[in-house]
Structures are given as C-alpha cells and as structure tokens.
Copies of this chain bind each other. A is one copy, B any other.
C-alpha cells in the first residue's frame, strides 16, 4: 500500500488541478463585452474572447437566481448576489461558438434575461446570446446590397385562417420584372417558428453575403410555421405530417408561385429543414416526390437509398450535422446514397452541437449547391 507523504500529496493535488484546468481553465480573460444580441443599451449579458458568458440579473429580494446556459448537464450557471442587489455569474467554461437560447430561473420561476433580445425556441420566447465565432463574417451585416424579408399572410382554407410566412427576396428582385427565381422552402425545428431562420439563423444576411461575393445565383427563401410544436418529445410515433403538408404543398407553394416571380417547377424548388424540420422535409419529399428536386436535412436525419423511389429525379440530397452530434451518420448516409447513384453531399460543422451555428453554416454550404 502506498504511503502518502507531503511530496506525493502535492503531486496528486497538482494532477487534480491540471485535470480541472484542461476542461475549466481558471484564467478567464477579462475582456468581456456586451453580447451582440443584447437589447439596445444593455450591458449584460457579456461574452469574452474565450467564449465565456457572464450574466447580471437585478433581483434584490430574490433567494436564488440561475441561468440555464452553462457547461453540460442541466445545471446551467448559478449566480451569486453582489453588493448592488444584482446577481452575477460566469459560465464555468467557454461556450460553443454561435447562438444559444437560455432563460433565467428566479426563485423557481422561468423568466427571460431583461438584457437580452428574445428568440422563439422551446415553444417560448427565450433569451438569446451570441458567442463570437471565428467564421462570423459569413453572417455579418455588411455594406453590401441587401435583400428583403417580407412578411406575408397567405390564405389557408385547410386551417381556416390567414397564415404567416416570411419570404427572402434577393437584392435586385424588384429591378427586373422579367427575371424569375428558384425557391428554397426552409423549415425551423421543434419549439421554433417561422421567425427562427431570419432571427437566429440570419438566413437573409447569409444570402446577401453569398450573392455579394458572387458565390450563388439569387433565389428566394420561404419560411413558414411547420406546425410542429404541439408534438411532445417522445410523441413522434403519432406525428401526422398531413396537415402541414397540405398547408405547404397545396396552399403556400401555389400562393408563392402566384404572387412572386418564381420558376414554378420541381427542378427549381428545394426544401430543407433543421432538426424536426428535417424530419418534415423527409416525410414531405417522400410523400410528394414531384414537388421538390433538392432536399436538405440539417441535423435532421438521413435518407437511405431505399427511401428514394425509382425515377424520382432527385438532383441533390444535402445532409449535415454538428461535429458534436452524430457526424458519422450523415457521412455514411451520403456515401451510401452516392454509391446508389444519388447525388448526395454531407457537411459537418466543426465544434458545434444541435444549435443554430450548425444550421447557419449548413445553409451557407447548401446554398451554393442549389439549382445548379
């Protein structure tokens, strides 16, 4: 049996400290700045150059304040009361690059951070924070020509209401009344809605920048609500795609083709979705093989060669994943599809999980492959 002495104990403690340091570096650089997604004039939340997030919540008489964002697990970040009646805390380590949802627990109630802008996710308007990414230029607001994000209200007989969609039209859309455009129908994930791809995803800025760089030919993007949020996790077995499929295929697409200058045929129509929107994409493309030619599943499953009907004329299947999800699944699925003679591309977003940075990057990779 090993005998402990002072030297051994020091060695053990140093090893322990080193092990902690590898995951939680103790040297937090004090260059925190307000998150770019803060409400106007708000100092907190803040982020530093390492990707740590720091929160400050005013609640002088509260007993406990916790922020849902943090490293692994469900614990989030517990804030400590400071002198002025506010609560402060910093994540234990750097967060992944890009956008994160979070909320604040105040004495057992779920609220938003009054300093942050709100984004619809988890079937509620959540707080959002932006961790600067090494590749953030591709979705930055730049001094280039900008397209529009148009809110439309389209008639839906099947749901007996006017439904909302957003349509990205590229710069110059209004200039040449003879030009017609292909269309990408782009779906959000569970808990989100038709605002997600513009607000969290910055789809319009990604397109503006790609067009300005001459990397893509302009196309329209249409974003509407996928009617996914009544579904509870685990309840997918009973999910019925038909109500949304009717809205999309029988109501929205004809409305878009009637009211925008589209090339209204299958070979100029794409559909993609993230997470549960990928599942919807797969269901709809398999049910309706004559509507779309380009399919994209962003962290949203895979197709197998057997899924694709003989003669379906699929021009592209795009499968993506964050490296912290199941990257091998999209790679092997794309390989199998290619082997079967179906044009498939996989993309893995390095260092990201099931979050919007994965999907921003996925759109950035997908867009140049469409309508070729």
Chain A window 96-137, contacts with chain B (Cβ cutoff 8 Å), 1 for yes, 0 for no: 000000001011111110100110000111000000000000
Give A1 to B150 CA distance when docked, in angstroms.
75
Contact B118 A260 (CB under 8 A): no
Q: Which residues of B contact A143 (CB under 8 A)?
A: 155, 162
Contact A124 B114 (CB under 8 A): yes
Residue in contact with A260 in the complex, picked from B41, B106, B109, B174, CB distance below 8 Å: B174
Give A109 to B123 CA distance when docked, in angstroms.
24
Contact A109 B60 (CB under 8 A): yes
Q: Which residues of B contact A123 (CB under 8 A)?
A: 40-41
Contact B106 A59 (CB under 8 A): yes
Comparing A21-29, A61-69, A215-223, A311-319, the segment that makes contact with chain B is: A61-69
**Any B CB within 8 A of the CB of A12:** no
Given contacts A57-B109, A146-B162, A151-B148, contact A229 B40 (CB under 8 A): yes
Contact B110 A58 (CB under 8 A): yes
Residue in contact with A146 in the complex, picked from B107, B152, B193, CB distance below 8 Å: B152
CB distance from A244 to the nearest CB of B (A): 15
Contact A148 B150 (CB under 8 A): yes
Size of chain A's interface in residues, with CB distance under 8 A? 48
**Any B CB within 8 A of the CB of A341:** no
Instruction: List CB contacts (< 8 Å) of A214-240 with chain B.
Output: 229
Chain A window 166-197, contacts with chain B (Cβ cutoff 8 Å), 1 for yes, 0 for no: 00000000100100000000000000010000
Contact B124 A39 (CB under 8 A): yes
**Any B CB within 8 A of the CB of A14:** no
**Any B CB within 8 A of the CB of A259:** yes
Contact B109 A112 (CB under 8 A): no
Give A123 to B118 CA distance when docked, in angstroms.
14
Closest to A169 in B: B150
Give A135 to B119 CA distance when docked, in angstroms.
32
Give A124 to B59 CA distance when docked, in angstroms.
17
Give A298 to B153 CA distance when docked, in angstroms.
28
Give 10 A-B contacts (CB < 8 Å), ordered by A residue.
A40-B193, A41-B123, A57-B109, A59-B107, A59-B109, A60-B107, A62-B108, A85-B108, A106-B107, A111-B114
